[in-house]
A and B are shown apart, each in its own frame.
Chain A
């Protein structure tokens, strides 16, 4: 209850839209002074709190990410802890067995860190630079588009479609990423363009 009251108090202080602050900045009332003294030594009080949304199912539970360092200021931010957001109307601080283990996703040993290329017939990925990877992609895509883009159908109707390269868009990227992705894919004339909702 104390935590819930504290966060609601924080809301009033910080105003809507604030991305994060630290527990110590909240200005607790007298009734909670003892609690504040008690938690001050905990390591989370020295972290940055950031509001985020669980990326798994569509309940979209509110979560709070605790990081050492403030990503919004361009600092290196190491995520130490993730928990449910008690202010969130839907989950009210609770998380399921997936959401409760989100930190393991962020720090998974199989997170990808570098662009890699697997050459034709090879049995391994090799690390390349972003420039190498992106130039190669632009080349491959342009060559295929130029070779197979259909400007008109047999009846002479302009159709401007590219069917020989397709794209599957993600299920957990933001709406803003989706819009940028949409703009690029549809502008290129890619018609084989779907997202996970098709499954």
Chain B
């Protein structure tokens, strides 16, 4: 989230699209009802199902799963065509005026540079014209035919209300009402917020869904505003934190990147990470990359990381592929190339697509280690549960070691919420049996392996031998010790750059925040964006001052928000070019002639003069990007792409299947179904009573929504002879499930490109362990393909068939 949950009360219009906050984030959604009740805010919901969020909306529009880009591009087109633009914001704070290279073009659903064989674009033409002074060329008048604004205008012109209806199935009148209401937020005094979740991410073009809305928010001038922003509602309590800390195959901490084979040494690695400003005087904060990277290496490998040995850069694994993401790992496992797998608090057998493939892959492992407070289907993938898990146990050779861990109530530490608040919590209970903290388990694995390497030698033991593990009890680092490492400290005296005779941070002291980090090895810091969380002032994540001066929703004294306790990202953009708030009733910060002051930590250097330094300080341009250059694999603008399994061909180019640059493994390509065989669109979702697969271990939640069901329209039920509450079989090219049918008015057939499209809703929760009745998950059906940029599986739009059936057989082998 760019903003905080508590900030939603400041909005005039909430758009929930690609999410269902009332059910999946109920206590956060209360801030929407707060805004409705006390500000008269409106709520728009765009969703294939009439959800409980929709039930309290002012305007609901149905949409076919996987067509959000067409819808949003239609809204952008509407705003541009009707002059509903926050012009001053657009001219000064976006790259609308930047001139794009002549080679860039878009035709028949594809951008310039497409290579069908490689399923990739040559992105060199997707860039700005750079002048002789080394800066990007702009035309502030927005008249140049090759400026971003005019290229965008042309790009979205095809998405007329008629085209939106043709692709999305949203009736034109409904769409126009939505577009009209959204467009009112182009006024500087009106603000819209976007709340989205996995309904946007779980698509092969998921990243572009989000970009489309971000662009709309920039055109309306809503980024950086109180009550505005792009608000990703993260699904789990700490996936924000785990991602911030770089527990991803392509990341290090704080969004530093894992090196690749093309970067054999540190100099080469840094060469492409200079981040020189693309416009005069801009901050381009990533210019500090080297400081964060060297401090990270020092946090990992302490004294052994020196300037002479490239800070132990060679200890880091170098990637030969863009990422070893989960889909790739299960593909490799399926192919017999993975021997061991560790699942820490993760149940991939129900979380990833094409369960049959997952089971086959896990069966090829030599060993599987699970760490969890609860039983999981993954740990018991070898156990036969009749139709619910029909495996030949004896033939599965995988050794499984299941380790019991503590749960939230028995451990101390911080979790990062969607609004980037790092909130500390304390242990309240004693763990059951012999359950242990994950930190203890990870320490044991490390210490025992290091000991084996000491005794026996082996493959490249250096990183293990030199890993910094300086804890009072090496067997179990405490949460405080780890948090202090994450914050970082001075290793030798750090001198004040303004006065080199003065010590800024004495050796051994915690740094105040990342502004004190150095690239000479004198500081260490585990994760630069978290720096400030535990400094010499103490554990800032444990702060509990809930005062909120003037009730802005900022709560600066409550815990700690990254970066540097800033609550609203890009808040410099809440003020106009001269530094005055666009809307005085929504002031966050303002320029007082000498510095930036206000309710939040300014997202700009406190003394940066407003006319000189742009508000998007992380970008080389200093402004935000409506055109992303070559930074996304599937285009600098979003363009309509069908899901890999779609009920109609792509109207822009009937030959195009799915996202043209998504990675597709050969065996999976054979497992995509066609609409002839599988005429209905399946989509997955969660119920408010459930949290993924965890709550099926709780009697209360298991009883509240006791049985696996699928949701279909009355029209489809009639067509297929399906009774309310009767058993049905739903199957895709990859698998089959049996469920009770919920026949409802909440899902209605849509007409897309002249064809009636039925949607089958498939909730996720059930499995074969826990207190709940046994059942299936949607992942028995979903396709093994991900988003082109980040490899999030396409679980929200796929093809199925459905028929009345008998119930599942319980018998086990």
B543 CB–A CB distance under 8 Å: yes
Give the complex CA separation of A52 and B791 in angstroms.
33
Please state if B704 and A175 are interface contacts (CB–CB under 8 Å). no
* Max chain B Cβ within 10 angstroms of own Cβ: one of A71, A102, A109: A71
Interface residues of A in 136-180 (CB under 8 A from B): 136-142, 144-146, 148-149, 151, 153, 155, 157-180
Q: Nearest Cβ distance between residue A161 and chain B, in whole angstroms?
A: 4
Please state if B320 and A159 are interface contacts (CB–CB under 8 Å). yes
Selecting from A22-30, A34-42, A189-197, the interface stretch reads: A189-197
Please state if B249 and A52 are interface contacts (CB–CB under 8 Å). no
B649 CB–A CB distance under 8 Å: no
Please state if A198 and B325 are interface contacts (CB–CB under 8 Å). yes
Q: What residues of chain B lie closer than 8 Å to A50, measured between beta carbons?
A: 426-428
Q: Nearest Cβ distance between residue B345 and chain A, in whole angstroms?
A: 3
Please state if B688 and A113 are interface contacts (CB–CB under 8 Å). no
Please state if A166 and B445 are interface contacts (CB–CB under 8 Å). no
Q: What residues of chain A lie closer than 8 Å to B383, measured between beta carbons?
A: 123
Please state if A94 and B404 are interface contacts (CB–CB under 8 Å). no
Q: Nearest Cβ distance between residue B784 and chain A, in whole angstroms?
A: 13
A1-23 toward B: CB 8 Å interface, digit per residue (1/0)? Answer: 00000001001000011111000
Please state if B351 and A165 are interface contacts (CB–CB under 8 Å). no
Give the complex CA separation of A90 and B561 in angstroms.
14
Q: What residues of chain A lie closer than 8 Å to B344, measured between beta carbons?
A: 167-170, 173, 181
Give the complex CA separation of A15 and B749 in angstroms.
57
Beyond A72-B427, A175-B413, A182-B247, whether A142 also contacts B467 by CB under 8 A is no
Please state if A71 and B452 are interface contacts (CB–CB under 8 Å). no
Beyond A54-B237, A58-B25, A182-B247, whether A176 also contacts B770 by CB under 8 A is no
Closest to A65 in B: B428
Q: What residues of chain B lie closer than 8 Å to A88, measured between beta carbons?
A: 546
Give the complex CA separation of A16 and B198 in angstroms.
36
Give the complex CA separation of A67 and B410 in angstroms.
11
B402 CB–A CB distance under 8 Å: yes
Please state if B467 and A199 are interface contacts (CB–CB under 8 Å). no
* Max chain B Cβ within 10 angstroms of own Cβ: one of A18, A181, A189, A190: A181
Please state if B374 and A168 are interface contacts (CB–CB under 8 Å). no
Q: Nearest Cβ distance between residue B481 and chain A, in whole angstroms?
A: 8
Please state if A175 and B241 are interface contacts (CB–CB under 8 Å). yes
The count of residues in chain B whose C-beta lies closer than 8 Å to any C-beta of chain A is 175
Q: Nearest Cβ distance between residue A18 and chain B, in whole angstroms?
A: 8
Please state if B400 and A118 are interface contacts (CB–CB under 8 Å). yes
B398-431 toward A: CB 8 Å interface, digit per residue (1/0)? Answer: 1111111101111111111110011101111110
Please state if B428 and A79 are interface contacts (CB–CB under 8 Å). yes
Please state if A59 and B539 are interface contacts (CB–CB under 8 Å). no
B352 CB–A CB distance under 8 Å: yes
Closest to A111 in B: B432
Selecting from B121-129, B136-144, B221-229, B331-339, the interface stretch reads: B331-339
Q: What residues of chain B lie closer than 8 Å to A130, measured between beta carbons?
A: 434, 436, 444
Give the complex CA separation of A96 and B422 in angstroms.
21
Contact of A113 among B249, B317, B434, B448 (CB under 8 A): B434
Question: What's the count of A-B pairs with C-beta under 8 Å?
Answer: 520
Closest to B433 in A: A113
Give the complex CA separation of A77 and B426 in angstroms.
13
Q: What residues of chain B lie closer than 8 Å to A165, measured between beta carbons?
A: 338-342
Beyond A16-B542, A56-B237, A180-B439, whether A95 also contacts B428 by CB under 8 A is no
Please state if B438 and A170 are interface contacts (CB–CB under 8 Å). yes
Interface residues of B in 265-324 (CB under 8 A from A): 300, 314-320, 324
Please state if B407 and A158 are interface contacts (CB–CB under 8 Å). no
Q: What residues of chain A lie closer than 8 Å to B24, measured between beta carbons?
A: 57
Contact of B418 among A58, A144, A193 (CB under 8 A): A58
Beyond A114-B433, A140-B367, A169-B247, whether A160 also contacts B242 by CB under 8 A is no
Beyond A120-B398, A161-B317, whether A187 also contacts B329 by CB under 8 A is no
Closest to B704 in A: A97
Q: What residues of chain B lie closer than 8 Å to A161, measured between beta carbons?
A: 317-320
* Max chain B Cβ within 10 angstroms of own Cβ: one of A55, A119, A146: A55
Please state if B340 and A72 are interface contacts (CB–CB under 8 Å). no
Give the complex CA separation of A172 and B415 in angstroms.
8
B372 CB–A CB distance under 8 Å: yes
Please state if B248 and A186 are interface contacts (CB–CB under 8 Å). no
Please state if B791 and A142 are interface contacts (CB–CB under 8 Å). no
Closest to B533 in A: A175
Q: Nearest Cβ distance between residue B396 and chain A, in whole angstroms?
A: 7
Closest to A99 in B: B27
B654 CB–A CB distance under 8 Å: no
Please state if A120 and B397 are interface contacts (CB–CB under 8 Å). yes
Please state if B409 and A52 are interface contacts (CB–CB under 8 Å). yes
Please state if A134 and B400 are interface contacts (CB–CB under 8 Å). no
Q: What residues of chain B lie closer than 8 Å to A94, measured between beta carbons?
A: 27, 30
Beyond A101-B698, A179-B485, A199-B793, whether A191 also contacts B249 by CB under 8 A is yes
Beyond A141-B445, A179-B485, whether A17 also contacts B403 by CB under 8 A is no
Q: Nearest Cβ distance between residue A183 and chain B, in whole angstroms?
A: 6
Q: Nearest Cβ distance between residue B145 and chain A, in whole angstroms?
A: 41
Q: What residues of chain A lie closer than 8 Å to B318, measured between beta carbons?
A: 153, 157-161
Beyond A60-B417, A168-B342, whether A98 also contacts B701 by CB under 8 A is yes
Contact of A163 among B237, B338, B405, B418 (CB under 8 A): B338
Beyond A50-B428, A113-B434, A142-B453, whether A89 also contacts B548 by CB under 8 A is yes
Q: What residues of chain B lie closer than 8 Å to A190, measured between beta carbons?
A: 317
B591 CB–A CB distance under 8 Å: no
Beyond A160-B315, A193-B248, whether A181 also contacts B438 by CB under 8 A is yes
Please state if B439 and A134 are interface contacts (CB–CB under 8 Å). no
Selecting from B458-466, B568-576, B625-633, the interface stretch reads: B458-466
Closest to B702 in A: A104
A70-102 toward B: CB 8 Å interface, digit per residue (1/0)? Answer: 011000111100100001111100111111111
Contact of B324 among A113, A120, A159, A193 (CB under 8 A): A193
B728-739 toward A: CB 8 Å interface, digit per residue (1/0)? Answer: 000000000000
Please state if A138 and B449 are interface contacts (CB–CB under 8 Å). yes
Give the complex CA separation of A196 and B397 in angstroms.
27
Please state if A53 and B408 are interface contacts (CB–CB under 8 Å). yes
Interface residues of B in 349-403 (CB under 8 A from A): 351-352, 366-367, 369, 371-375, 382-384, 393-403
B510 CB–A CB distance under 8 Å: no
Q: What residues of chain A lie closer than 8 Å to B238, measured between beta carbons?
A: 58, 170-175, 178
Q: What residues of chain B lie closer than 8 Å to A118, measured between beta carbons?
A: 382, 398-402
B780 CB–A CB distance under 8 Å: no
Q: What residues of chain A lie closer than 8 Å to B239, measured between beta carbons?
A: 58, 171, 195-197
Q: Nearest Cβ distance between residue B442 and chain A, in whole angstroms?
A: 5
Selecting from B149-157, B498-506, B689-697, B754-762, the interface stretch reads: B689-697
Known: A176-B477, A195-B346. 18 other contacts (CB 8 A): A54-B408, A57-B691, A89-B558, A96-B688, A110-B374, A110-B697, A113-B433, A118-B402, A135-B448, A145-B458, A166-B329, A166-B338, A170-B344, A179-B245, A184-B442, A186-B300, A193-B324, A196-B235
List 27 A–B pairs whose Cβ atoms lie within 8 Å, in order of A's numbering.
A17-B542, A52-B408, A52-B425, A60-B418, A71-B428, A90-B28, A90-B417, A98-B690, A108-B374, A112-B404, A116-B402, A123-B393, A130-B434, A134-B444, A160-B318, A164-B339, A165-B341, A167-B341, A169-B344, A169-B346, A171-B242, A175-B415, A175-B483, A178-B241, A182-B253, A194-B247, A198-B792
In the A-B complex, the 6 residue pairs with the closest CB atoms: A113-B433, A170-B345, A174-B413, A65-B428, A112-B404, A60-B417
